[in-house]
Structures are given as structure tokens and as C-alpha cells.
Amino acid sequence: MRRHPHPGRCAVALAAGLTGSGLAAQQFVRTAHPQDTLQNNSGNLSPLGVFATGQAAEARSQILFRPLELPAPGAQLAAIEVHAQGTSTLLYSSLVVRVSPTLAGALVPVFAANLPAPVTVLQAQNLTVPYSAAGWTTIPMTTPFAYVHDGQSALVLEITKVISPNTIAATVMDTPSPPSRTDRPPMVYAFGGIGSGASNSLLATASGDPLAVRLVWTGVPTMSHRSDPGPSGNQYALGSTITYTVEGEPGSFYITTIDTALLPVPLQLPGISGLVYAFSGFTNFGSLDAGGRAVNTVTIPPLQTFVGLYVVYQAGVLNAVTGVGQLTNAHDHFVNP
């Protein structure tokens, strides 16, 4: 894979929802699950959307994020972001988001069993959310920073919703485009129409590819990546370009690595916050720009021998303010035809 350094770009202004919630002074960073693309061609209504007929107006959904995808200790969750496949506005009579660290590698049908230590980060009534196909929609937490990640657990995100019958508009949120990642845990959910009580369901009745989500954090650096569909229509396709972004305190020194295997056991380095998931030598280095970002790209050679190759990325950051060394989350993918 060919690497192409790309100068850091100024960060996009934080969404109005975060600014309006009084969080504008914070330095926000993101992890993308599974990635940043806005060009998915599959979707799901249950976690946040709805059919025009009102089906799925109520739902309870859970998503499991693997430990390697999550930031170092001290990361504080501030918001979630999703991408709708059209432009609409929904009024949630009730919208509740809970998170829980977990040691589980998969979700079971019993919702409560998946939440060993639940923390409520959003509890809202009569919440209006405008969705746009042009970009990610930010949903700030009503109790931001209530969840602080331990840097080693997996994380369950639970969304329960009841959509007001007065604002039913067909709304579908992205799930990852095919081919599916069978090594990633599926989302579990229960859904029903208006008045069905599905938001209070005790058991999941369906499972499928997880909702595409960006988690917004503060307190630590992060890494994310983007791969739009290539010539074949697949993401991470032969001949396509992958953009990976490091975010953190402006002016911080960063260094990145790309590998083709995970370490058998994540490594803790003395004096460094976070875990090493992969290392095969350094690929890019520099300083985060005034917006706290550095953007680089790699190109997948159009060679059939690369199909099926596993690739994992991670970065280390020396905080410009505190002088503390911190490791970002890792992110990974397979190369597709």
C-alpha cells in the first residue's frame, strides 16, 4: 500500500448542537465506527429512524464497539453522530442513550444482560433533531462527560426512542456498505409501531449490521479513517484511497503506524496512556494543525494479491500542553475487490 502524506487541515467547526449545549470550549475528537464515509448504500430505521407509515417509531437498540476502536483512559463521551440518507426532521417524544463498559465480545438477546454498568448520558423528551444527507448529525449528550472510558473495555451503546406521531417522516440511517464484516459484533434491536411499547422491550427480536456511528470525545487523542467506494463499488477496494485522521490538542506531535496484524495481547508502554494494538514501524509524523488535526492518505494498489489483506492503523501523540504521551484508538479493515 502506498502512503501519501497530506498536510493537516483546519478542523470543521463543531456542530451547532454541541456549541448550543455549552461545550464549545472543549477540544473535541472523534472515533468512527466503522468509518467516516457518507457514501453507504445500506441502512436501518430502528435505532433512530422511522418508516413513513410509522413502523419502527418505537425501538430499543444496542451496538457493541470493540476495545481496539475506543480511546485511551480518560476519554469523556460528549455526543454521538449519525448520517441520515435523506433530509428530514423528527420529534422524539422520548430519546434515551445509555452506555456501559463490558468485557463481552458479542451481544445477547437480553438487553439488560448487555449493560453490566449502565450510565445514562442522554435522557430527553420532546427533542427535535434535524437530519441532513449532506453530513453527520450531532446529538449532544444531556449529561456530557458522565461516561469516562477506561481504555481497555468494549463499550455498549443503547438507544431507546419513541418518535412523536406528529412528525413521522421516512428517515433511514446508514449502516456499513457491503461486504459485511462478519468479525464485527452485530447490532441487536426490537422495534414496533406507534404505541407498540417496543422502546421498553426486554428482549431483542432482530439483529443486523450495526448503525454507522461517530462517537465524540474529549480529553484524549483519537484516530479515524474514511474509504469511499472504489471502482468496484466496494469500500476499501483495490485502487481506492483511504484517508486517516489523527485528532487531539493543537500543536501536538504525532506519529502513525500501519500494520497487517494485531499484537496477540495489547501492549502497555511505561509512562504512555493507552494500549498498543499494532506496530510495524512508523509511517507518518508531524504536528497537529491549529484545529488539532492531521490528515494522511494511503492508496491500495490495484493488485488482486491484496484482496483479503487485513490492515490496522494507530497513532501516538505527545500532548503539546501537558507533555503526556498518549496512544489513540486503533482502526482496521480488510481490502476488498
Name residue, grid cell 486517516. Answer: 244
Q: How many CB atoms sit inside 10 A of residue 274's CB?
A: 28
What integer is the mean pLDDT of 186-198? 97
**The CATH number fitting domain 2-10+221-334, selected from 2.30.30.360, 3.40.50.720, 2.20.130.20, 3.40.50.300:** 2.20.130.20
The Cα 41–Cα 34 span in angstroms is 14
Please give the grid coordinates belonging to residue 296.
494522511
pLDDT digits (tens, 9 = 90+) for 241-297: 999 999 999 999 999 999 999 999 999 999 999 999 998 888 899 999 999 999 999
CB 67 within 8 A of CB 329: no
The Cα 288–Cα 246 span in angstroms is 8
- Amino acid sitting at position 79: A
pLDDT at 25: 56
Burial profile 64-97: b = 16 or more Cβ within 10 angstroms, e = fewer: bbbbbbbbbebbbbbbbbbbbbeebebbbbbbbb
The Cα 252–Cα 327 span in angstroms is 12
Map out the domains of the chain as residue ranges.
Answer: 2-10+221-334, 41-211
pLDDT digits (tens, 9 = 90+) for 122-175: 999 999 999 999 999 999 999 999 999 999 999 999 999 999 999 899 999 999
pLDDT at 6: 35
HSE value, Cβ hemisphere, 13 Å, CA-based, for 189 = 29
